Amino acid sequence: MAKKTRQILRRIRNVRHVRQITHAMYTIASTQVILRKKELLSSHPFGEGYAEALGVLWGYARAQGISHPLFEPGSGNKVGVLLVSSDRGLCGRYVLELNQAALSFAQGRDVEFVAVGEKAVRFLRRKGLRVVGAHVRAYERPDIGFAEALRDEILARFPAEWHEVHVIYTKFLGELIQRVRVEQLLPIGIEPKEVGQLIAEPELPRLLGEAGRLYLLGEIYRVLAEAKTSEHAMRRQAMKAATDNADELLEKLTLLYYKARQQGITREILDIMGGAEALREEE
């Protein structure tokens, strides 16, 4: 019985240690969600305003018979995909859903991936899919410099090698709601808006190209912000569930320990009473 109680105590200590870890990770993830959410919300006004302005510029350019490669399908026969995942696990269904979406999108297409996150790189290579860009532990928070590097890497292949470019990421819809999204990055799908006379400096083709590059940079930054916020939100949910399970297991183990201890005490009392009874009978 003493051996059994020691085993239960050992399990209780192990579970308490695990609970400390999961609770600490829950606290860190909660803090990160707050910080990343602020950055994500602060990026929305620029994105919405810039999309409106680019729609006006694109509408005026089309009225003048002017186009740009960023707004037209590429001449290549492959499809580029930017897959934004995580470098670490312990974030619930986050990695699994992204991997499934990437695998489903690649079926029947000649696809090349630019993968962000160690989990994405390992999965794609294990499945035999082509990874032309691998970024492992490249960003812990949304970074405009990293977004610019991704944009330049994509534009190095579009439109010459890639017909179009898509992005697969997890969109942050709320504290408890995150959804995997597959969206087209290139060609830019801005709806052209009707406009009268417009004075454009410098010349319109150059202005359209620079505006398109800036819009693409903003979209990639937004995707990184959405993905990182969703990752921390889902990790927080997973760690909250793990901590609750640890608490429930601790309660059961503690009850089991007390029962085992009571049984041991009862057995010792019975042994003492049996010994005392034997002594009385000898007298």
Model confidence, pTM: 0.86
Per CATH, which fold does 2-23+238-282 belong to?
Answer: Helix Hairpins (1.10.287)
Order of strands across the sheet that contains 111-116: 130-135, 111-116, 78-84, 162-172, 178-186
DSSP reduced 3-state for 109: coil
Residue 158's CB is within 10 A of a number of other CB atoms, namely 23
What is 24-237's CATH superfamily?
ATP synthase, F1 complex, gamma subunit (3.40.1380.10)
Q: pLDDT 10s digit of each residue in the chain, 283 long?
A: 566 778 888 888 999 999 999 999 999 999 999 999 988 888 888 888 888 888 888 887 887 888 889 999 998 899 999 999 999 888 989 999 999 999 999 999 999 999 999 999 999 999 999 999 999 998 888 889 999 999 999 999 999 999 999 999 999 998 889 999 999 999 998 887 777 666 666 678 888 889 999 999 999 999 999 999 999 999 999 999 999 999 999 999 888 888 877 776 676 666 666 665 666 666 5
> For residues 219 and 35, what is the distance between their CA atoms, to the nearest angstrom?
20
C-alpha 196: how far from chain center: 43
Beta strands 162-172 and 178-186, pairing class: antiparallel
C-alpha 202: how far from chain center: 40
DSSP reduced 3-state for 93: coil
Domain boundaries, the chain: 2-23+238-282, 24-237
User: Which among 90, 93, 118, 92 is positioned nearest to 18, based on CA atoms?
Assistant: 90
